[in-house]
Structure formats: C-alpha cells, structure tokens
A and B are shown apart, each in its own frame.
Chain A
C-alpha cells in the first residue's frame, strides 16, 4: 500500500502534537521513528516506503511549525552518500546500527575515497586492506576528506587484491574514525580555512562485520556513492534567485553606483543561465516524482559549478575596490560545508572547488558523452592489467 500525501500530512501533525521542540535531539529521534525522516526509506529505517517526492509534504508541515531540522549542511556526506550506500549494500544489523544516529546528526560521517595518486581515477587507489582473522588491517593515505575532523564514521574504499585489474580488487568498509591508527590532519586550502583533511590510516583494524558489499565488489558499491554524490551537490529545490545569483542580484539593486554596461550584460546572461538551470532542476524533480528519472541529473552538478564560478567572479568585479579585500585569512576548522555564507572573496575562491570536488567537470563531461550520448570511450591501457603492474 502506498502512503498518500494526506496520510503523510496527518502523520506529521500527529508527530507535532505529541512532541515538543525543547529537546531537539528527542524530536529528531521521534521524527525518524515515525518514518518521517526520509519518507522513501523503508519502514523502521526512518521512512515509510513512500514516493520520494512526498518528502516535501512533510518538510513543509515541519517548517511551518518551526520544527528543528537535522542540519543537512553539517551532515551532508552522511545523508547524501553514506546513507544510500548503507541502505543498498548494508546488512540488517548495519541498517539498525548506523542509519538513525546518522540522520539525527548524532554521528557525523565522512568519505575516505580520494588519495594523492587516485583522484579522478578513483579505481587506481592503493590504500591496502589485508585480511587477518575476523579483521582487516588497513594502511594508506586519503585526501580531500571534508568533515574528517568532526566525523565519527567514514565510508572507506580500499585495495584488497593488488593482483587483479584495478576495478576488481577493491573492497568497501565502514571505518570507525576513533579507531587506533586513524590520524586526521587539517589541509589548509585556497580560502585560508581547513575544510578538508588528510587522513592517514596506519594498521587500522576493521572488523569484517563492517564490510559493505562483497569482498572485491568495492567499485560497484562506490558507484552508488558517487552517483548519489552528484545528485546531492546542487540538487535542491530553490526559488528564483536562490543561491549565488540572488546574492549578486541583490548587490546590483542595492548599489547603483557599481553598475557598468559591460557588467550589466554579464549579469543578465548569468541570470538567464541560472534560471535555466533552476528550471532544469525543477524539471528533474518532476521527472523523479513521475517515476521516470531522466539523464538531466548527470549534468546538474556540472552546470551548477560553472555558474557558481562565473557569478562569484562577477561579484568581485562588481565590488571594485572592495573586491580587493578579503574577510579573514585565519585558519578555521568549519564544521559545515558553506559555499555562500561568507564574503565575496571567500565565495569566489570556494567556488573554484565546485568543478573539482565530487567529480571534476572533465570527468562529468566524459560521463555525459559516454553514458548519456553513447559516444565511444577513450582507449584504455589499464583495463586488463593487474593493479600492481600499473605505472604510477
């Protein structure tokens, strides 16, 4: 039986009637237990097996009532990437253990994927996992790990068999970030802050019970994570002038003395593109709700990143003299991902990462041209070669 919008509205009203907001965490736990956390998840795991599109019904009721939310910007990696992967490949025990505190934000997650020698070519990764009784012993180095400094757990991809071609010898784990041998070092970036980290794994023991998917099947599991990652970045419903374009449009209206004809034309071009991308996102969500997801999702992150970069660049030029200033170079350790929250210089510099993180624009164009347009792939020299024999 499918849950209807009206039933969800009733369930939400009941939740609101039975629980106050005084204890934020208690409210979030009750919401999860009522199946109103992510309604498309199974019953008992924070959902009601409802169509994904109906989440908006619940969210609107809760927002109108001023209910606390689970702060998605702080726990976005858990929500957007770890949770769908655990749901699809995890055991019943793993579902019970991890999903609830993940959703409430009690336990923050990070993603131990990229390595110094394996970025866009993720399947080249070399962090070794060696079986030892009921445990695996993991050694290697990961990089660009957002939230590693606040994370309780990580999703981790490793090399478990170096003797087979690279895509076949990977295994995927849940890693306890408090385990002995896990060392997190801040990685200061272009903005001055240390949003990212390097993570060194030295003889970290991971029980086999924390494996996600079969031994050697890590690439397939990682694909689920990566696909969800690209949907999660830039996939939210926004009103017109939501996001970066709204910031610049407001600046334009508020500061007539900054206007020039050349900047005017660029502003309007970017406004039109931003509106096109916003409408395309709306159309994508309508397709999902109608049960026929189109390929548009592959492109949204690519479109979003180039727009953010161009608009934030325009903002600095528009500001003129003030664009030469920066708000604060202090090395900070932010606990949330924030593209727009600081000042113009920060926005400009942070946006440079949008075309690199979560799949570079070049990799995304390859995905579109090969998987959407069906163009032939480049010749591959690494396909049938054991990982250990690959040049690096």
Chain B
C-alpha cells in the first residue's frame, strides 16, 4: 500500500476546529504573560482540546476509550499546536505516554483516562532520548521504583508516570516528586522526576517493555516532525507578512531580492519537510515497516527546517525580532528545544546509516 501524503477532508475539518480553539487561547501577549506566571501550562485550553475536541484520544481505539482515528490526525493536531506554540501537555501525555501504553498492549484503565483528557501522564524519560539504546536510571524491586529521571517534558502537570525501570515498563500513580527546571522552551517545560519507593503497576516486561519504549519514542519522533512543520509554517507566514508591511529606503523590505531569496529557501525547505512529516505520520498510522526510516528522515529534516525558519524569523524581523514582546523568541525556543528532543538530527542520521546500510 502506498503512502497518502495529502490531507483528507476530515483532517481539514479537524484542523479548522483546533485552529479556531487555539486562536482564542494562544494570542501572543497572553502566551507571554502565562510563560512568566506561576501557571505556565494552560489547563483550561487543555481541557477544551482533550475533552471537548477529543484531541487526546485520536490514536486510541474506541473500545479503549478513544476516538479510533489514527496517527495522521494526531500529527495534524501537532501541526496546529506548533503553529501556536500552545502551552499544553499534548506531546508528553497524548503522544509519548499514550503511545507507550498502546504499544505495551496493556488494558490498564489509564489509557482511557488519557484519551478522554480526564488525566495526563508522561513517559518518564529525558526529552532528549532518541528511539534507540535507552538506559533507565530507575531501579525496581518487588514493584517498588526508586530513582531520578532528569529533563522530562510536561511532567509538572502529570497525574501519572509511565516509567521504564529495570526490565519493565510501569504505571505510577503516586510516590513521586517533580522538581521544575528553568526550561529553554518557555511553552513546554521540563522537570526532574524523583521516585522514592513508588508503587508501580507493570504493563510490560523484558523484550515487550523494550519494544514498547522504542515504539513510543519512534512514534514521538515521527509525530514531533508535524509540530516542527507547523512551527516553521508560522515563522514563514509571519515573516512574509512583516516584510510586506515594513518600509525602508522607500520600499517594502520584502521587495529586496536578498531577503526574498532567503524566504524562498525557507519555503522550499518546508515543501520537503511537509512531505517527510506526512510520510512519517502515515507510516505510523499504517504500521508500515518503513516507519524507522520515515521517522529518522522526518526528524533529521524537520528539526533543522524548524530551527532555520525560526532563526530567519528573528533575523528578518531585525530589532523587533530580538524583543521579548514579539513572539518570535517563543518559536525559536520551541524550535531549538525540539531539535534536541527525541534524538538530534545527527543521531537520526546515524540511525539511518544503519537502517540504509550506509555504515561509517
């Protein structure tokens, strides 16, 4: 079966609903104000997104409390979240924790709670973890978990943890503390998680646990590309808009060829990034055996495209782009943090070297 790289009508409808909701909640000045407040996450928006729109349960089958859509629709939500750098725990809960539960095949009730938005969870791994070669820092004895995991995304608002520990994967409901870190990305926070004798419910062990963890991180990498795509699209559109209206030397700045060519290059990057992100989401949705390649290509490409677009956004806005008031910095911070998240471009290229038999 060949991949479908387009957006369906249903996906376009979903996009319109999500964008409408985000437009109401993610006005740049409000985003900035929230980022400096005691409540950096917008849980009202989260409830509307997860509860009213059902966005957190798209990938979860209907008989397990979800909406029985697919990773393609999840990717679409991520595009819109990237466009608005929305401060919601979607990546941690609806993507990473949910995919870990789905991949483990567990019938734990947590999956239904996550799908409905009644609870949130995180996969307790450093956000920088790529799909391959993960070493857990949490020890387990008789179902009791002890240890510390650094730099976990969205942990500060998590009700549950899904923890790789020892030779298993565990659901943890209590007995852990979260220490907020100062995050580079103001709209997606990272925190240290400490487990001190937490009771864990095993949902997978041995090889099944390792496979579920790899599957979750691979799905995360494949889907994060769509957030990177949406982010880059916002940066390009906003920069084009600004350069059309900003006059210097008696003409719109956007009529200078030197600047036009830079934006044409960003646009061209986006053409490939969109195709790669769609392909990765489609492979994930269909369970295609090409998923490891698709996810690695998507991250190697989209993470750098997003950073490039955000850097150009700051540079071409010039002075205003360096200010705190202008939202460009929120996008640059998200883009740069995403470049390190779920495996750097270099690590994904190294993974491709093995997958494609192009060894060093």
Please list the residues of chain A having a beta carbon within 8 angstroms of any beta carbon in chain B: 249, 252-253, 256, 259, 261, 264-265, 267-269, 271-273, 275-277, 279-280, 282-283, 286-287, 290, 296, 299-300, 302-303, 362, 364-366, 368-370, 372-379
Contacts and interface: CB of A to CB of B under 8 A. Distances in A.
A286 B4 contact: yes
B261 A362 contact: yes
A51 to B, nearest CB: 15
B300 interface: yes
A290 B276 contact: no
B204 to A, nearest CB: 32
B235 interface: no
A373 B243 CA distance: 11
Given A277-B272, A373-B263, 15 more contacts: A259-B360, A261-B360, A264-B360, A276-B275, A276-B276, A276-B301, A279-B279, A283-B274, A283-B275, A366-B257, A366-B261, A368-B268, A375-B244, A375-B252, A375-B254
A376 B4 CA distance: 35
A277 B260 CA distance: 21
B349 interface: yes
A373 B358 contact: no
Contacts of B271: 280, 296, 299-300, 303
Contact of B255 (A264, A273, A279, A377): A377
Interface centre among A261, A277, A280, A286 (most CB of B within 10 A): A280
A302 B275 CA distance: 16
Contacts of B4: 286
A368 B346 CA distance: 30
Which of the listed residues A249, A264, A275, A370 has the most CB atoms from chain B within 10 Å of its own CB? Answer: A275
24 contacts: A253-B358, A264-B353, A265-B349, A268-B300, A268-B349, A272-B349, A276-B273, A276-B275, A276-B297, A276-B301, A279-B272, A280-B271, A280-B272, A299-B268, A302-B264, A303-B271, A303-B272, A364-B264, A365-B261, A366-B261, A373-B236, A375-B263, A376-B251, A378-B257
Contact of B267 (A249, A279, A373): A373
Contact of A299 (B5, B267, B349): B267
Interface string B317-360: 00000000000000000000000000000100110110011111
A366 B267 CA distance: 12
A271 B357 CA distance: 12
Most-contacted residue by chain A among B251, B256, B279 (CB, 10 A) = B279
Contacts of A377: 255
Interface string B221-258: 00000000000000010001001100000011011110
B188 interface: no
Contacts of B356: 249, 271
B267 A379 contact: no
B260 A365 contact: yes
Contacts of B5: 279, 282-283, 286
A369 B353 contact: no
A265 B352 CA distance: 11
A372 B359 CA distance: 40
B173 to A, nearest CB: 41
A209 B360 CA distance: 63
Given A249-B358, A265-B346, A375 B275 contact: no
Contacts, number: 127
B358 A252 contact: yes
Interface of B is mostly: helix
Contact of B243 (A249, A279, A375, A378): A375
B186 to A, nearest CB: 28
B171 to A, nearest CB: 36
B265 interface: yes
Contacts of B141: none
Contacts of A249: 356, 358
Given A249-B358, A299-B271, A376-B255, A365 B265 contact: yes
Which secondary structure dominates where chain A touches chain B?
helix
Contact of A370 (B260, B265, B360): B260
B268 A272 contact: no
B54 to A, nearest CB: 27
Given A366-B260, A375-B260, A275 B276 contact: yes
B43 interface: no
B110 to A, nearest CB: 35
Nearest to A367: B264
A157 to B, nearest CB: 25
Contacts of B359: 256, 259
A271 B354 CA distance: 13
Contact of B244 (A271, A362, A376): A376
A223 B271 CA distance: 23
A272 to B, nearest CB: 4
B83 interface: no
A272 B300 contact: yes
B189 interface: no
A253 B349 CA distance: 16
Contact of A373 (B3, B240, B350, B353): B240
The 8 residue pairs across chains A and B that have the minimum distance between CB atoms: A276-B272, A369-B260, A279-B275, A365-B264, A376-B255, A268-B349, A283-B5, A368-B264
A74 to B, nearest CB: 30
Contacts of B16: none
Q: Which of A296, A373, A377 has the most CB of B within 10 A?
A: A373
A374 B267 contact: no
Contacts of A253: 357-358
Interface centre among B240, B263, B350, B356 (most CB of A within 10 A): B356
Contacts of B236: 373
A152 to B, nearest CB: 37
Contacts of A368: 264, 267-268
Contacts of B251: 376, 379
Interface in B1-45: 3-6
**Interface centre among B3, B240, B297, by most A CB within 10 Å?**
B297
B243 A280 contact: no
Nearest to B2: A282
Contact of B358 (A261, A267, A375, A378): A267
Contacts of A275: 276, 297, 301
Contacts of B349: 265, 268-269, 272
- Among B244, B251, B255, the one with the most A-chain Cβ atoms within 10 Å of its Cβ is B255
Interface in B269-311: 271-276, 278-279, 297, 300-301
Task: Give the interface centre of A261, A279, A303, A364 by most chain B CB atoms within 10 Å.
Answer: A279
A279 B3 CA distance: 10
A342 to B, nearest CB: 24
A364 B273 CA distance: 19
A316 to B, nearest CB: 18
